[in-house]
Structure 1
């Protein structure tokens, strides 16, 4: 059997709301910017999300932030629709 090709899928959750990250952001650099915002008493942190959108989140010492990073099997037939890749299957018609 051949080697399975994988791709990385990353998501950030802010106060319980999940945002799938696009291909661009350096997660370690984003974590550092979030930590810096907390240390300065709060600041907006901007980051790109899947589907060619951007989010600007106010990060304070009371903001709950979590990252999820997983390797998933690469699907060569994937049309490249990142929003669809993260969609709730119950909402796809």
Structure 2
């Protein structure tokens, strides 16, 4: 057995775009906020994507959304902290 650490990552596909969600997000809360936005006819919903970057998407009744969960290699930088983004051109 290897000593490689793993973590669970959630991906959200919104129409044709796919976003990997940062760690520590409340998935049930995100689902509720999306459902509320759709019920109200359309609203922006914000979440933190991998790279510790905030994303806002306009969810409306015509928006297609799929959530999936997978196990990936552990990345200590993926902590959902907006003050410490990563994943840019100069990140190693």
Whether TM exceeds 0.5 here: the answer is: yes
**Counterpart for residue 21 of structure 1:** 21
Runs (4+) of structure 1 exceeding 3 A deviation are 78-83
Instruction: Report the CA distance between 1:72 and its aligned residue.
Output: 3.6
Q: Highest CA radius of gyration, 1 or 2?
A: 1
Q: Distance in 1 between matches of 2:69 and 2:76?
A: 22
Residue in 1 aligned with 2:46? 46
Q: What are the residue-to-residue correspondences of 1:1-93 with 2, within 5 Å?
A: 6-72=6-72, 74=74, 80=77, 83=87
Counterpart of 1:41 in 2: which secondary structure? coil
Deviations along 1:34-87, one digit per CA (max 9) or x if unpaired, are 00001111100000001011110000000011111112465xxx674774xxxx
The number of equivalent residue pairs is 81
RMSD: 2.5
Partner SS for 1:45: strand
Query: With structure 2 as the length reference, what TM-score do the two structures score?
Result: 0.72
Structure 1 unaligned blocks of 5 or more: 84-93
Q: Distance in 1 between matches of 2:54 and 2:77?
A: 18
